[in-house]
Structure 1
Amino acid sequence: MKLNSQIKNIGSYMTMLAKQVVLLLAILSLSISNATAQSTTSGPSIMDLSLLNKQKKTLDAGDQVLKSAYQQLIKSANKSLSFGPVSVMEKKEIPPSGSKHDYMSLAPYHWPDPSKKDGLPYMRKDGETNPEVKLYKDKEYLPSLCEQLLVLSLAHHFSGKDIYAQHAMKLIRVWFLDTATRMNPNMNFAQAIKGVNQGRGAGLIDGRNLIKAIEAISLLSANKAVTKEDQAAMQQWFADFLNWMQTSKIGQEELDAPNNHGAWYDALRLSIALYTNQLPHAKEIVVNAQKRLTSQMDPSGRFPLEMARTTSFHYSVFVVDAFLKIAAMSQKINLDFWGFKASNGNSLPKAVDALLPYLNKQKAWDGPQIKPFDDQEAIPFLSIAATKFKHPNAANWLVANTSVHPDKMFTYLLTLNDF
């Protein structure tokens, strides 16, 4: 299917895309706003509440494509009702602090040294995941929890059924709020390297999933499904977490990271700053992210530090995804990160254009990639490129791949999804 070089509006694009969609089971994630910048921080910061409301009206009016998408959303949400609750207290390992309330995980690309009797210190094998990390359940539970929260919050929004909001709030209270089970607002012991450290700045990348949790509770709150007490408690938890991020030694390490870690650090703290109504600080974070984009990208639109990785295709998409989320959130405070162009010419459109020929398979990837690139990783990237940048090649890819990854495409119809 050949699309026009310019997609005139979201509605016509979604109509064309809808004709190609085969709707099956799905896993939800974050949706990207394509609305005019808003001056209020109420509601989600990445998802566009006005668009969600518009889609709900269209669905309620009997739109058949959205009806099919909605049915798959509810099917997924019904499965989410059997998830958890989970907590940091379930892990067998005890963090160095002596408290299971502290989050704990291992560095994924570090392995026992076979030349040492005790295997210590662990040695790095970039891109090769040590299965030992699966023994540390916090790393498994947190992303799953955040994903389920987003599914449930969207199901509640579109169905109006309290059962989804009630289960979401149960999950939230157990992980974040209840005294007996809550996670302490830090990641002091994230991605530890045995024989080297008890935790490190790079471990904060685990926290990027919290962006989804913030989006979910913000949507629930907008739909009046969160009590004032729970909202205040969650905002305090995240305010404390942000304070830890910005004052701890580990947090400072990640602040200084010159690669995707630094970009995701800014994405997470921007999400928290908006959720906790720290608007002047949110603007400072966006400005800092602009500096990162200026320094991390080369003149060709590539990111050299990501290109040096053994899975460079993945990390090249990964870092741009972080910047795209920052750009979406920047609209909330009337800043245009989409249109930002650095003095050296670096910009988000340039980063998108640099990757599109490889994502569209017009060119073979020319960097290290020790394992196959998962096409699903391209969906969030290209869905944003299609809706925000109106890039025809991105739109063509989405249309062509709806039958390949229907489990990721249906929520795009519901929410203009950044999966």
Structure 2
Amino acid sequence: MEVSRRAFCTGATAAALLELPPARLWAQHNAAGYDLVASTDRQRIMTAARNYLALKPATVTSFPSDRSPGGPHDFFSEADYFWPNPADPNGPYINRDGQSNPNNFNGHRKAMIALSLQVPALTAAWLLTRDRRYAEHAASHLRAWFVTPDTRMNTNLEYSQGVHGVTTGRNFGIIDTLHLVEVARAASHIAPAVMSSADQQALRAWFRDYLHWLKTSEKGIAEKKTLNNHAVCWALQAAEFARLIDDQQTRQEVAEQYKTVFMPDQLGKDGSFPKELARTKPYSYSIFNFDVAAMLCQSLRDSSENLYEFKLADGRGICKAGEFLYPYLKDKSSWPYKKDVEHFDSLPVRSPGLLFTGLECNQQQYIALWKTMNPDPSDAEIIRNYPVRQPLLWFPSQQRKKA
């Protein structure tokens, strides 16, 4: 049975798709999803990409800090929610959960976020047009960050989210490289098309070394074992970096972590994330963890298992999480829990989790809402927790397609 992509999002056709073999059903989902995003985002993608053509690569080496305990190639950041102690102004900083300190060093994080905005947009523009200018400029960023000796970043996060007077780096800082997830996805499209064999090898070697650090270092192991969104962010990074270097064992390990740890330990019976609801930013972190968990399912979707279909015996799964959040994404005023201590008015923005669960859980209202939401937030705090901006890149079989 052949199904037109335009007809995919009708209820009758979606039901008919369920009769297809799994591999063919995924191909139909994939093609329809690509076309949906291409038609929705084409103008926004092209506008951004044209602007980004004028911007030169700038890596961590462009933003030195005299507060960094590392060298010029080491990523450095300071923990967001730590402030001087009024009782001891020159002593160790203290925690104020949910309240970001604007005086902390963010130069490297801002540079990485810029990378995560520019490379995916340039890559999406190339997918839509096949204009090599976009691909070549995206590749220049990849070379600067991961290949060129003078500018490349070191393959660890030993000095991320340090706390003044307490520690030079924490495992929680690994969440900073969540912004490399979509860069790695973009690289899987761009590198084979426009980068030399030597540069491709160096690029993959960087992500191989960094993934090894994530899996074996003291900080990486500790982050994997955290009990909230940090572990899910670790898993999404591991899954995407492993995808780029074709490390199927790591991807299988992450899938098991999702099924045996994340769903039973983090997802409530009603589809909420109780550990996120207990935070001072319950709305923001609930959406964030839902988005990252859904993107993990999407990252692993082109492997042997469909995690969108996975459910615990009591019905808990990513589709249940979508059911819980959808009403509050549609109408924030109905949120029955505490308001976030900061940035509540800047939410919600366009949720990638809403798009992908809408497609995979057959919830057309999710997709309709997704189309209406803001895809380009300007609030720096929201951007920090918004790692996926170009869902066009997340439909792997469309790499050779011109929209």
**Could you state the TM-score of these two structures normalised by the residue count of structure 1?**
0.80
Cα deviation, residue 380, structure 1 = 1.7
Distance in 1 separating the partners of 2:296 and 2:4: 23
- Pairing partner for 2:138 from 168, 171, 175: 168
Match of 2:102 in 1: 131
SS at 1:105 equivalent: strand
Number of aligned residues: 369
Report the alpha carbon displacement of residue 363 of structure 1 after superposing the two structures with TM.
6.4
Single out whichever of 238-247 and 109-118 deviates more from structure 2.
Answer: 109-118
Deviations 1:316-337 (A, max 9, x none): 1111111111111222211111
Task: Give, in angstroms, the shift of residue 377 of structure 1.
Answer: 3.2
Which runs of structure 2 are paired with 1:9-408 in the superposition (5 Å)?
A: 11-12=6-7, 51=31, 55=35, 66=39, 69-94=41-66, 97-118=69-90, 120-133=91-104, 135-222=105-192, 224-290=193-259, 291-361=261-331, 364-368=334-338, 369-371=340-342, 372-398=344-370, 401=372, 405=374
What whole-Å deviation, never above 9, does each CA across 1:24-78 have from its counterpart, x for those lacking one? xxxxxxxxxxx9659xxxxxxxx999739974xx99xxxxx94x95344222111
User: Is the 2:272–2:286 contact (alpha carbons within 8 Å) kept by the matching residues of 1?
Assistant: yes
Cα distance change, pair 127–37 in 1 and its aligned pair in 2 (3 A): farther
Q: What secondary structure is seen at the aligned counterpart in 1 of 2:161? A: strand
> Given residue 279 of structure 1, which amino acid in structure 2 is its aligned partner?
Q
Q: Which deviates further from its counterpart, 384-393 or 68-77? A: 68-77
SS class of match (2:194): coil
Q: Which runs of 5+ in 1 are unaligned?
A: 1-7, 17-34, 39-46, 60-64
Structure 1 position 357, deviation (Å): 1.8
Report how far residue 280 of structure 1 moved: 2.1
- Once the two structures are TM-superposed, the CA of residue 167 in structure 1 deviates from its matched residue by 1.2
Partner amino acid, structure 2, of 1:268: Q
Separation in 1, partners of 2:28, 2:236: 17
Worse overlay, 182-191 or 375-384: 375-384
Q: Which stretch of structure 1 is more off in the superposition, 339-348 or 294-303?
A: 339-348
> 1:281: Cα distance to partner?
2.3
Amino acid of the residue matched to residue 244 of structure 2?
Answer: Y
Change over 3 Å in CA distance of 1:312–1:234 after alignment to 2:
same
Quick one: structure 1 residues 52 and 132, their matched pair in 2 at CA, closer, same or farther if it must change by over 3 Å? farther
Contact 2:298 2:356 (8 Å CA) reproduced = no
Q: How has the CA–CA distance of structure 1 residues 412 and 167 changed in structure 2, closer, same or farther, with 3 Å as cutoff? A: closer
Rounded to whole Å, the distance in 1 between the matches of 2:203 and 2:32 is 23
CA contact (8 A) 1:152 1:164 kept: yes
Return the offset for 1:96: 5.4
SS at match of 1:310: coil
Distance 1:388 1:171 in 2: 33
Is the CA contact (8 Å cut-off) linking 2:243 and 2:251 kept in structure 1?
A: yes
Deviations 1:140-165 (A, max 9, x none): 11011022000111111222222111
Q: What is the CA–CA distance in structure 2 between the aligned matches of 1:36 and 1:382, rounded to whole Å?
A: 22
2-side partners of 1:54 and 1:196: how far apart? 47
Which residue identity does 2:74 align to in structure 1?
Answer: D
Counterpart-to-counterpart distance in 2, 1:11 and 1:414: 16
- One-letter amino acid of the counterpart of residue 276, structure 1: I
Give % identity.
25
**Cα distance in structure 1, aligned partners of 2:170 and 2:257:** 22
Write the distance in 1 (CA, Å) between the matches of 2:131 and 2:49: 11
Q: Residue 369 of structure 2: SS of its match in structure 1?
A: helix
Tell me which of the two structures has the higher relative contact order, counting C-alpha pairs closer than 8 angstroms and 6 or more residues apart: 1
Unaligned runs of 5+ in 2: 12-20, 378-388, 396-403
Query: Deviation at 1:11?
Result: 2.2
TM-score normalised according to structure 2 size: 0.82
CA RMSD of aligned residues (A): 3.2
**Higher deviation after alignment, 224-233 or 192-201:** 224-233
Aligned to 1:32: none
- 1:163 alignment partner, SS class: helix
Question: Residue type matched to 1:90 in 2?
Answer: S
Deviations 1:112-166 (A, max 9, x none): 1111131x21111111111123x33101110110220001111112222221111
Judge conservation of contact 1:37–1:332 (CA < 8 Å) in 2.
no
How far apart in 2 are the matches of 1:178 and 1:97? 23
What's the counterpart of residue 5 of structure 1?
none
Deviation at 1:173, TM superposition (A): 1.2
Stretch of structure 1 that moved more, 351-360 or 250-259:
351-360
What SS does the aligned partner of 1:205 have? helix
